[in-house]
Amino acid sequence: MDRKIELIRSKRRTLAIQVTSDGRVVVRAPIRYPVSEINRFIGEKADWIDRHLEKVRDIEKKEPITKQEVKYLVTKAKRVIPPKVEHFAKIIGVDYGTITIRMQKSRWGSCSAKGNLNFNCLLMKTPDEIIDYVVVHELCHRKEMNHSPRFWAEVEKILPDYKKRKSWLKANSYLF
């Protein structure tokens, strides 16, 4: 694949490569780093570059979500998520405050110190096991308000395959 690569030299010590949201490929290199080594590095990262450029193209193709669709997703989430919260809260042995569903740009869910839970309505576009993962994740914050090993152990007690679900969400979040 033919692609333009922007090279930025600076006082940095390492090589780095970035695909920007507008589809530019930027390589950052130390001032005196040999061009041959930079080209070798780019060659080694060709698959990575192509994958990330493909993600940028997918994002550009994505239709913007309409107010009507948000309203539909919020309504559906209000029907789907509270029973899941109730179910998993009993299993985990925690209580919780209010449940809020809304459109969020950068979070799938959150849990406040008071136990109030917020969920992104876009969860309705993900598989059911991903919704379960986000619900369990937020409820486990009622035991551990951090992402320590103890927190992840709590999540794993309920969802032994949580790492697979977490990876799916990370790999596919850009689609939503």
- 3-state per-residue secondary structure call for 41-70: HHHHCHHHHHHHHHHHHHHHHCCCCCHHHH
Query: With DSSP H G I counted as helix, E B as strand and the rest as coil, what are the percentages for the chain, rounded to 5?
Result: 55, 15, 30
Q: What are phi and psi of 123, to 5 degrees?
A: -55, -25
Give the number of other Cβ atoms within 10 Å of residue 81's Cβ: 22
Question: What angle (nearest 5°) sits at the alpha carbon of residue 48, between those of residues 5 and 2?
Answer: 40
3-state class of 110 per DSSP?
strand
- For residue 92 the two structure tokens come to 């985990």
The pLDDT value recorded for residue 53 is: 87
Q: Give the domains, in start order, of the chain with CATH numbers.
A: 5-61 (no CATH), 67-175 (3.30.2010.10)
**pLDDT band with cut points at 50, 70 and 90 for residue 62:** low
**pLDDT band with cut points at 50, 70 and 90 for residue 172:** confident
What is the pTM assigned to this prediction?
Answer: 0.69
Tell me the mean pLDDT in the region 145-158: 97
Q: What is the pLDDT of residues 126-143, one digit of tens each?
A: 999 999 999 999 999 999
